[in-house]
Structure 1
Amino acid sequence: MDRITLKSSMELDGIEAMKQCFISNLGVAILLNFVVQKELGQQLVALPCGIDGQTIDICYSYHQNKGITEPMKLMMQLLSQKLHVSTT
């Protein structure tokens, strides 16, 4: 197996920012298919990576004393619908 070494990295605040960076050819990432479904085949290309069909564990959390924003609610709904997880 080939190893990938990062020469530099960037931290982004949101998926849309990430997608715009990838569309601008500024890097690569492993993202869930439903996150980039609209852009696949037009602006983004899926590369074979050998992890198709494998199960991955996902965990999300939020601060109990802060409000849940509309984007957070949407993310929780998408996780619940697409990945069959509990949002409790």
Structure 2
Amino acid sequence: MNSPQEQQQIRQQAAEWAIRLDGGDLDRSRREALDGWLAADPRHPAALALAQRTWKQLGSLAEPRTMVQTPVASAPRRAGGRRKGWRGWAAAA
């Protein structure tokens, strides 16, 4: 079975393993758990590799900069607004 929920679960587990691996050495029981997880499904190694690449790329992003908001000049408005134009059309009808 290859349902979207199953794929999501694999991606989630892979992300958790990627974070643990990035955190440093795994103790023996965690290493055995990882090895078991990798062997349990042929999709797991590829999912872990993708999660590790993604985690590495996220770590290389610069600190977010404060966004500077510049006021936008509004478009000039016609005298009388839009209603005046509609009145002319209504009178013509």
Return the TM-score normalized by structure 2: 0.29
Structure number having the greater helix percentage? 2
Q: Which has the larger radius of gyration?
A: 2
Higher relative contact order (CA 8 A, sep 6+): 2
Return the TM-score normalized by structure 1: 0.30
